Structure 1
């Protein structure tokens, strides 16, 4: 079974790498290492599938550039709950708190949750998918777009 403590530790490491990426100091190989060979992304805008490697790095680069342009400053992993699927897979609901700076210099914190599909492969945890809400609507609601 995938241990809850291991999943929490994984997402605290994910938080650190994510914040490095927001600061534009991350090694994209470290980002890619958090993901499985293939992945699925589910949002209200689309369902996408892809492969780890140059495709994922390009998607992540574009995503982090967009977050920086929106004023993203820091993401904090507040809580992680785990729903086992089988011996080597689980759904991790991760509650995030994001700090942003609006164009006028004012600060705003947005709390949100993302469900990650996580697998244990060769003794390491990897994300093979994520399901998220409408972040664009949240950004508009808080004056970031």
Structure 2
């Protein structure tokens, strides 16, 4: 395993743990740790469009709101089921992350939403940071599973 791949894998191991911890009861949120996974500015794209933003106080304020939403729809766990790292050069990679969102819906039925996100990662400043990502339609997946 290369140094770059080791850094990318460590980034997502920590990110997944923080995401899963935030869905526990009671939630254990590490806002600073989640924010540290992202570059000072990053972009995201989904079927709903493209957005960009700064890693600032407004972003940090949104992190607990996002986890609260996942918890409110019945989220119990967020785990990585697969991770493939494609190196682009000495300091950039794409991480294909297969996520598993375990839930118990309002009717008491348990299930899983599985999806793959593609993250663009840089280690230009030494630490691995997400500077972009591509995601599927999360809203539709939640509707398909009766969560919203």
Same fold, judged at TM 0.5 (above): yes
Q: What is the aligned counterpart of 1:76 among 75, 79, 103?
A: 79
Q: Does residue 108 in structure 1 map to residue 88 in structure 2?
A: no
Segment drifting more, 101-110 vs 57-66: 57-66
Q: Residues of 1 paired with 2:58 and 2:46: CA distance?
A: 18
Which segments of 5 or more consecutive residues in structure 1 lack a partner in the other structure? none
Spell out the pairing of 1:1-145 with structure 2 (5 A cutoff).
3-23=4-24, 24-145=27-148
Cα 1:116–1:93 shift into 2, 3 Å:
same
RMSD between aligned residues: 1.5
Which segments of 5 or more consecutive residues in structure 2 lack a partner in the other structure? none
Give the strand-richer structure, 1 or 2: 1
- After the TM superposition, which segments of 4 or more aligned residues of structure 1 sit over 3 Å from their partners? none
Q: Is the Cα–Cα contact under 8 Å of residues 44 and 132 in structure 2 kept in the other structure?
A: yes
Q: Is the Cα–Cα contact under 8 Å of residues 2 and 90 in structure 1 kept in the other structure?
A: no
Q: Is the Cα–Cα contact under 8 Å of residues 2 and 84 in structure 1 kept in the other structure?
A: no
Cα 1:51–1:2 shift into 2, 3 Å:
farther
Q: Residues of 1 paired with 2:36 and 2:10: CA distance?
A: 15
Q: Residues of 2 paired with 1:5 and 1:124: CA distance?
A: 11
How many residue pairs end up in the alignment?
A: 145
Q: Is the Cα–Cα contact under 8 Å of residues 5 and 87 in structure 2 kept in the other structure?
A: no
